[in-house]
Amino acid sequence: MTIHLHHDDLPADIDLGDVIAVDTETQGLNPHRDRLCLVQLSSGDGTCHLVKFKAGQYDAPNLKAQLGDPKRTKLFHFARFDVAIIEKYLGVRAEPLYCTKIAAKLTRTYTDRHGLAVLCREMLGVDLSKAQQSSDWAADELSDAQLEYAANDVLHLHKLKDKFDILLARENRTHMAEACFRFLPTRAELDIAGWEETDIFSH
């Protein structure tokens, strides 16, 4: 694992390819209250780029160019939250996208455990530490443990996608997954607009 920490933006000379694994760290899980602190990215090559933000400083033109590029697939685990935070703070709609949590729920119907650590352990034989899940991501200096935790959230997503592509095809659910992925930016927009707890499809 190689980790590069950048401040305010991604360097202009870094190209993360056609499929970019993406995750975010925030001050909490309420997008109306808790600000974006960190964006993690990987092209699946064992290298992770972390972009750390100060409060109110979200210009980041290089990062926005890659996240908003319609020719690049953005690969998430639980895209609903990350897409909402990215759109709220960076003003970019990160699509097209792929969400391993949606893929897991469509294929692993024998369980209700679809967290990233569970998927990495069961499908890749990789144990992830979640000890830093609740920590201060707005700190001026991030610890080595925080950096490693953040990197691990994106370093395995490409391999998980490969596994889920096979499972979705096997269960004839690829078309459903793709439809869900297309809808996720709208679902995130609904969350930000105030419908996060309301099922607009219910009676």
- The 3-state secondary structure of 136-151, one letter per residue: CCCCCCCCHHHHHHHH
d(CA 28, CA 194) in angstroms, rounded, equals: 17
Instruction: Express each pLDDT in 110-154 by its tens digit.
Output: 999 999 999 999 999 999 877 666 789 999 999 999 999 999 999
Q: Which residue has the higher pLDDT, 32 or 25?
A: 25
Whether residue 200 lies inside any domain: the answer is no
Q: Which residues form the domain of 10?
A: 2-195
Whether residue 69 lies inside any domain: the answer is yes
Q: What is the pLDDT of residue 31?
A: 86
Quote the number of domains for the chain.
1
Tell me, what CATH number does 15's domain have? Answer: 3.30.420.10
Whether residue 152 lies inside any domain: the answer is yes
Whether residue 45 lies inside any domain: the answer is yes
Q: What share of the chain is helix, strand, coil (3-state, %, to 5)?
A: 40, 15, 40
Would residue 58 show up in a list of annotated catalytic residues for this protein?
no
Would residue 149 show up in a list of annotated catalytic residues for this protein?
yes
The catalytically annotated residue of 9, 58, 82, 89 is 82
Instruction: Express each pLDDT in 27-70 by its tens digit.
Output: 998 888 999 999 999 999 999 999 999 999 999 999 999 999 99
Would residue 140 show up in a list of annotated catalytic residues for this protein?
no
Q: What mean pLDDT value characterizes the chain? A: 95
pTM of the model: 0.95
Would residue 8 show up in a list of annotated catalytic residues for this protein?
no
Whether residue 202 lies inside any domain: the answer is no
Whether residue 201 lies inside any domain: the answer is no
Q: What is the pLDDT of residue 184?
A: 97
Q: What is the pLDDT of residue 189?
A: 94
Whether residue 27 lies inside any domain: the answer is yes
Instruction: Express each pLDDT in 64-95 by its tens digit.
Output: 999 999 999 999 999 999 999 999 999 999 99
Pairing relationship of beta strands 36-42 and 47-52 according to DSSP bridges: antiparallel
